[in-house]
Structure formats: structure tokens, C-alpha cells
Amino acid sequence: MSTEAPHRHALSGPAMGSRWSAVFHAGGDVDEAALTHRLQGAVERVEQQMSTWRPESDLERLNAAPVGAWVQIPRELAHVLATALEIGRLSQGAFDIGVGDLVQAWGFGGGARVPDGGRIAAIAGRPSFEPPKTLQLDPAGCRARRLAPLRLDLSGIAKGFGVDELAREMTAAGLSSWLVGIDGEMRAEGTKPDGRPWTIAHEKPTPGEREILGVLEL
């Protein structure tokens, strides 16, 4: 058994309009290139399924399908959709994935970067997002169908699932001390070699400035 002290490793790559990161402690014999490839692949799978920026993503295929038509979707996307609907139910509609058109009309996401008052007014008269009236899932068959002309947007949950997938890859690689993240979505496992918890800083919500407000110990 090696008595070599664990080294600190830091990996990163592009992810969902931002970057993913992974910091971990392990022996020096870790194949960083292979692990980076696995982590990048995990993020890429999530983005290919759930991105609103990729016209060919599975989510965009669902958005483009005729209302009422069943669409085959990957198991992971079906899981995230079901979870999003449950969070929407528990929050009494505060969490709503049926706001894709409204998001774009206000100038967020892809497309124009300024609000479009005409589109906003037109969307205001549409049916509200009330699953299963507006979205129906068939988890066993991995398929879904929209029952109203609503555009789905998973930006409030997809990055969190991406982080879960990074965590899955870290565990599969046999690592027990790590911190992974995409933007502010973070997940940690274990502690640092000296027993201290992982720590993350959170910034002051001041536009144009990058200043730490405080530090959280996980």
C-alpha cells in the first residue's frame, strides 16, 4: 500500500455556456487526461439532451414537435423533466419549466438580448403551465408530449443535474475527496486530507464587481 500523501488535482472544461471544474485529492498516479475526458463526456451528454442553445438537442426536438405528438427522449432527460414537474408541484408553480418563450421574449437565453414588448403581451394570454394538462410524461417508455404550445426551458435544473453527473464520474473513478461544480452549482464529497471541510466562496451581488461576501464550509 502506498504511503504517498494525496496530491491536489484541478481539472476544468467548457460546460453549458460556462465551465465545469473538479478539484480532488488523490495519489499522483491519477490519469488526469482520462478523467478529464470522462467528465467532459458527462457534461456533453447533459448538454446534448437539455440545452436550449442547441437546435438539435433532445429538449429542442421536444419543443419543435407538434402539440400532442409523443417524442422519444433519453432516460436522463425523462428523469429531469419528472423531477422538474415535482419541484413545480411542491413549489405551487413557483418553479416553472414552461417559460421558454417568455424567457426569450424578455431577452434572456439565445436570440435577441432586449425585451420584446409585443411578444411578452402575446404570451401573457397563453394557457398556464399545468402538467399533466400541458405536458405529459411516459417514464417507462421514455417519451413525452406537449399538450399546449409552450416552450420548455430546463435552465433552472439542468446544470444541477450536470453536477450530479460529474459527481457520478468522480465516484466511479474511485475518488473519495472532491469538489465539482458548474457555475454556482456545487457538490462535494469527503474532506480535505487534513480533515478540514471543503470551502466555497460566494460573491457579493454587485454588478461589475468580483468581491467575496463570505465563505461556506461544506
Q: How far apart are CA 126 and CA 96, in angstroms?
A: 14
Q: How far apart are CA 43 and CA 177, in angstroms?
A: 20
Residue 111's pLDDT is 63
Residue 123's pLDDT is 85
Residue 108's pLDDT is 86
DSSP symbols for the chain: ---PPPEEEEEEEEETTEEEEEEEEE-TT--HHHHHHHHHHHHHHHHHHH-SS-TTSHHHHHHHSPTT--EE--HHHHHHHHHHHHHHHHTTTSS-S--HHHHHHTT-SSS-SS--HHHHHHHTTSPP--TTTSEEEETTTTEEEESSS-----TTTHHHHHHHHHHHHHHHTT--SEEEEETTEEEEES--TTSPPPEEEEE---TT---EEEEEE-
Mean pLDDT of successive 10-residue segments in the chain (218 residues)? 72 92 91 97 97 95 98 98 95 92 85 83 78 90 94 95 98 96 94 94 92 95
Q: How far apart are CA 134 and CA 131, in angstroms?
A: 5
Residue 38's pLDDT is 97
Residue 1's pLDDT is 39
Residue 27's pLDDT is 83
Cα angle 59, 65, 70 (rounded to 5 degrees) comes to 90
Residue 205's pLDDT is 92
Residue 6's pLDDT is 81
Residue 127's pLDDT is 66
- The sign one gets for the Cα dihedral 13, 16, 18, 23 is negative
Residue 90's pLDDT is 94
In angstroms and rounded to an integer, the radius of gyration of the C-alpha atoms of the chain is 20
Q: Please name the residues in contact with 44: beta carbons below 8 A apart, sequence gap of 6 or more.
A: none
Beta bridge mates, 144: 71, 137
Residue 112's pLDDT is 66
